[in-house]
A and B are shown apart, each in its own frame.
Chain A
Amino acid sequence: MTKKPTYYHFLGCVIPHRYPSVEKATNLVFEDLGIKLLDLVGASCCPAPGVFGSFDRVTWATISARNLTLAEEGGHSITTGCNGCFASLWDANHELKHDDELRDAVNENLSVIDREFKGTIEVTHYVDALYASAGLEKIREKVTRPLEDVRMALHPGCHWMRPKNIKKKDDSEHPQIFRNLCETSGATYLPYKDELICCGAGGAVRTADVKTALDFTKQKFESIEAVGGADIIVTPCPFCELQLDLGQVEIQKFFEKEFRYDVMHIVELLALAFGHDPDEFGLTTHLQYMQRKIQPNWEVLGIERPQPEDVAASE
């Protein structure tokens, strides 16, 4: 028997602290596909690449390297479901393997906690892990509830595939891998003009000026509207997910314009397509639903839910 592919699961901040449904959906989907996830105990913030990287490059690389050493100790590569975490960990791993001056400065800082960056592991995104360790064929086999007739707009985000000459993953002007993965769910890809623009949250812009950040997001929604609107928006990043999901509530406040899109992380889309009940991973806990006191558009998703009357009758 071949050994199960195994990764350290790097949670980051937004998934475990604000969108735990993504964490739970990841556990379900990876288990279905026979990929083992181990806790990376004591991992900190990645730290946010556009934020910490903008303040002090060496401290950014040191905190990131500390996370990498946790995985090096156990001898497994890392997988993460956040474009930001992926960017920090992947970039730091790459730069530390190629820049001796930075590596020396980082290891000097790490010496106070008896750690050393060795450069013995790789960093992957869920998208890489799903694509490489499971493969499209195996993923398609697991789909028991294809999301037929669901029109899906994609938001690949930036940091999984850019900068393209360094990450060498996909063509950042015409990305295919994320789309191929999403299409295994049976949903129909809906092209729109601004698919590849940033959600607006990165680079510490959301932190500094939420209204400017939301103006990017609004442009995206308007671009989706221009092609007749989508049933769902799918992204591989929880920070983009927060910006697109909670962002709709905030846009209504700042710009008095109401959008109503269901937003999902790719693992949540796959969990539904694999036949999991939305309550198994808490799809309804998305911040948009909680703040607006609404539910996902079950009918469009093709998911039967007990009617409120039925629930009352059974109680």
Chain B
Amino acid sequence: MPIGNGFKAENLALSIRRCIKLVSVEEKVPIDIDEVDKDFVDMVKKAGGPNIQSCFQCGTCSGSCPAGARTNYLVRGIIRKALLGLKEECVSSPELWFCTTCYTCTDRCPQDVQPTEVIKAIRNIAVQSGYMLAPHQKVAAKVVEVGHAVPLGGTTWENLREKVGLIRVPPNASGNQWAIDEIQKITKKSGFDDLIGYEEFMKAEAEKAKKKAEEKAKEKAEQEAKEKAKEKKA
């Protein structure tokens, strides 16, 4: 099984509005250079990648990249496409999400392009354009919901804390609803809730949970009915 299989559409449907599929380098068709967005470079510069135009395509970034060594992710290629104004090519590419932000390219780039920042900026524009992976939407929603990307998550973990001699609930947002309220006010104000589709997501999650509970109740009722019938027979 090839690495990066998790990005197959059936495993990881892109949430919100659009869906992208992983295509291997060999299968890719030539890019249509006619479809250029002249504002894209400025968008990248503004979104946090101000040095993108210093790139002279030496490839030190991709040569240093541990993600590129095992996936189709090619920093140099994405930067070149961005400089050509190929916005849609850049933002719809699932490989964009293979960067672990290790900053090796940034430390080695002879032109101080800060490729990691450029990639993060393009990711910001991708999310604005409606491209977001489902697990990323989930983790973003978790921070809005409970203030933490990795939530404390119930008694198992509280018991673990107690076992090592700590108070069951730490003094971070997990034990302080006022802190979560503040986070929710911020993400509403900044437009983050709308960006990730927070309310729709939470509604869908609640719907899912409800359905699951109903199915469980139905199963239980059927089981009970069966047992009753058995008893009657006996």
Please give the residue numbers on chain A whose beta carbons come within 8 Å of chain B beta carbons, in ascending order.
11-14, 16-18, 20-21, 23-24, 39-45, 47-59, 62-63, 66, 109-110, 112-113, 115, 158-159, 162-165, 172-173, 196-198, 200-205, 207-213, 215-216, 219, 280-282, 285
Contacts of B136 in A (CB 8 A): 51, 54-55, 204, 207-208
6 A-B pairs with least C-beta separation = A282-B164, A209-B6, A162-B103, A198-B102, A42-B179, A203-B101
Residues of B147-169 whose CB lies within 8 A of A = 147-153, 157, 160-161, 163-166
Given A58-B190, A197-B66, decide whether A23 and B166 contact each other with a Cβ distance below 8 A.
yes
Instruction: Kindly state whether residue B130 has any CB partner on chain A within 8 Å.
Output: no
B107→A17 contact, CB < 8 A: no
Contact check, A56 vs B192: say whether CB atoms are below 8 A apart: yes
B172 & A44 in contact (Cβ 8 Å cutoff): yes
Bound Cα distance from A240 to B189, whole angstroms = 33
Are B148 and A17 interface neighbours, CB within 8 A?
yes
Q: Which of B29-37, B180-188, B224-232 forms contacts with chain A? A: B180-188
Which B residue's beta carbon lies closest to that of A9?
B171
Specify which chain B residues have a CB less than 8 angstroms from the CB of A197 in the assembled complex.
66, 102, 104
Number of A-B residue pairs, CB cutoff 8 Å, is 237
Interface of chain B residues 88 through 138 with chain A (CB within 8 A):
97-104, 106-107, 112, 114, 116, 120-121, 123-124, 127, 132-133, 135-136
Residue from B5, B127, B171, B185 whose CB has the most chain A CB atoms within 10 Å: B171
A164 to B48, CA, bound (A): 18
A205 to B157, CA, bound (A): 24
B107 A164 Cβ-Cβ under 8 A: yes
Interface pairs (15), CB distance under 8 Å: A16-B166, A44-B143, A48-B149, A51-B139, A55-B140, A63-B183, A66-B182, A109-B190, A158-B102, A163-B116, A172-B104, A209-B7, A209-B98, A215-B70, A281-B164
- Contact between chains at A163 and B147 (CB < 8 Å): no
B4 interface residue, CB < 8 Å from A?
yes
Report chain B residues within 8 Å CB of A40. 171-172
**B167: shortest Cβ distance to chain A, in Å?**
10
Q: Is the CB of A47 within 8 A of B143?
A: yes
Q: For the complex, is B63 an interface residue (Cβ under 8 Å from A)?
A: no
Q: Which of B116, B147, B148, B178 has the most CB of A within 10 A?
A: B148
Interface of chain A: mostly helix, strand, loop or mixed: helix
Establish whether residues A13 and B165, one from each chain, have CB atoms under 8 Å apart when the complex forms. no
Most buried by B among A49, A110, A202, A208: A208
Inter-chain CA distance A155–B45, complex, in Å, is: 33
> A59 CA to B186 CA in the complex, in Å?
8
Write out the residue numbers on chain B whose beta carbons fall within 8 Å of the beta carbon of A211.
3-6
Cβ contact within 8 Å between A212 and B71: yes
A59 touches B100 (CB 8 A): no
Residues A56 and B107 in contact, CB atoms below 8 Å apart? no
Q: State whether B100 touches A55 (Cβ < 8 A).
A: no
- Say how far A31's CB is from chain B's closest CB, in angstroms: 13
Any chain A CB within 8 A of the CB of B74?
no
Q: B173, A45: Cβ atoms under 8 Å?
A: yes
Q: Are A205 and B149 in touch, CB under 8 angstroms?
A: no
Query: In angstroms, how far is the closest chain B Cβ from the Cβ of A219?
Result: 8
**Is B20 close to A, CB under 8 A?**
no
A17-B157, A208-B6, A216-B70 given; A54·B123 CB < 8 A: yes
Inter-chain contacts of A207 with B (CB < 8 A): 135-136, 139
A112:B149 contact, CB within 8 angstroms? no
With contacts A41-B176, A112-B186, A205-B97 known, is A162 near B106, CB below 8 A? yes
With contacts A44-B147, A55-B124 taken as known, whether A109 is within 8 angstroms of B186 at the C-beta atoms is: yes
Assembled-state Cα–Cα distance A265/B133 (Å): 31
Least CB distance, B94 to chain A, in whole angstroms: 9
Question: Of B135, B150, B172, which one neighbours A208 at CB under 8 angstroms?
Answer: B135
Contact A63 B127 (CB under 8 A): no
Instruction: Tell me the nearest residue of chain A to B12, going by C-beta.
Output: A208
The reply to whether B172 and A42 form a contact with Cβ atoms under 8 Å apart is: yes
Residues of B within 8 A of A51 (CB): 136, 139-140, 149
Name the residue of chain B whose CB is nearest to the CB of A42. Answer: B179
Residue in B47, B97, B149 whose beta carbon sits within 8 Å of that of A47 in the complex: B149
A48-B176 Cα distance, complex, nearest whole Å: 20
Task: Report yes or no: B195 in contact with A282, Cβ–Cβ below 8 A.
Answer: no
With A208-B135, A212-B4, A212-B6 known to touch, is A11 a contact of B172 (CB < 8 Å)? yes
Q: Does B19 contact A (CB under 8 A)?
A: no
Please, which residues of chain B bring their CB within 8 A of the CB of A282?
160, 163-165
Which residues in A have their C-beta under 8 angstroms from that of B170?
11, 16-17, 23
Min CB gap B126→A, angstroms? 9
Is B55 part of the contact surface with A, judged by Cβ < 8 Å? no
Can you add 19 more A-B contacts, CB < 8 Å, to A44-B172, A45-B143, A163-B107?
A: A11-B170, A11-B172, A16-B174, A18-B157, A42-B172, A47-B149, A50-B100, A54-B123, A54-B124, A55-B124, A55-B140, A62-B186, A109-B189, A158-B103, A162-B103, A164-B107, A197-B66, A197-B102, A197-B104
